[in-house]
Amino acid sequence: MATQTERVSVREEEIPLKAIKAIKFSILSPDVIRSMSVMEITTSETYDEAGRPMVGGLMDRRLGVVEPGARCETCGNPPDKCPGHFGRIELARPVIHVEYAKYIHDLLRTTCRECGRILLTDEEIEKYSKRMARLKVRWKLLADRLIERIRKKAMERTVCPHCGAKQYKVRFERPYTFYEEKENGVLEKLDQ
């Protein structure tokens, strides 16, 4: 993915000014992160013995440069003109973001371990969808309460209404470990 773009030098006056209307925070997918990044970080070394930035390290010149007189290998600009460019670290295993652990816990408790579907019958899904469509337009508070009821209902199911698989209690241990409580109190760790 590490593509070397053409060297373009941009003067400050040439940069169009734009007003920010809104800022939205959300999660980027691995593919988006890969396409945004100019290189993969592959080493924890920053400089070699001669004091040059290590290729694939955090000071790699494709990410931008700090030394006066040096030019960024991605945009070709000197330090004061280069905006800096993203690199990425490919993780060997999936990692849970602690901020989302409680939502993952909810998802694990309301979906089937076998078929992955929500633990509601087709009739319930239809009934709740209709009610939700009506409420969310004008009654935000009531819609939130309905979500809570749906969540509880799905969590109470001990058998999946779709595939018939038995559902176990999912225990969450901070910061991000999940266990299934099997028969006789046996805890089985849920791997991502």
Q: Can residue 114 be called a binding residue for Zn ion (CB under 5 A)?
A: yes
Computed from CA positions of residues 157, 163, 164, 166, in that sequence, does the dihedral angle turn out positive or negative?
Answer: negative
Binding-site size, Zn ion (CB under 5 A) = 12
Does residue number 162 form part of the binding site for Zn ion (CB under 5 A)?
yes
Q: Is 38 in the site for Zn ion (CB under 5 A)?
A: no
Angle between helices 122-138 and 140-156 (to 10 degrees): 160
Residue 34 CB coordination number (10 Å): 14
Looking at the Cβ atoms of 110 and 150, the one nearer to Zn ion is 110
| Min dist. Cβ of residue 114 to Zn ion (A) | 5
Beta strands at 177-181 and 169-173: parallel, antiparallel or unpaired: antiparallel
Q: By C-beta, is 112 or 170 nearer to Zn ion?
A: 112
136 lies in the binding site for Zn ion (CB under 5 A)? no
Instruction: Compute the least distance from the CB of residue 168 to Zn ion, in Å.
Output: 13
Helices first, then strands: H and E counts in the chain: 4, 5
Query: Residue 64 CB: number of other CB atoms within 10 A?
Result: 22
State yes or no: residue 119 binds Zn ion (CB under 5 A): no
Query: Which 47-86 positions form the footprint of Zn ion (CB under 5 A)?
Result: 64, 72, 74-75, 82
The least CB distance from residue 140 to Zn ion, in Å, is 31
Q: How many CB atoms lie within 10 A of CB 75?
A: 20
The site for Zn ion (CB under 5 A) is made up of 64, 72, 74-75, 82, 112, 114-115, 160, 162-163, 165
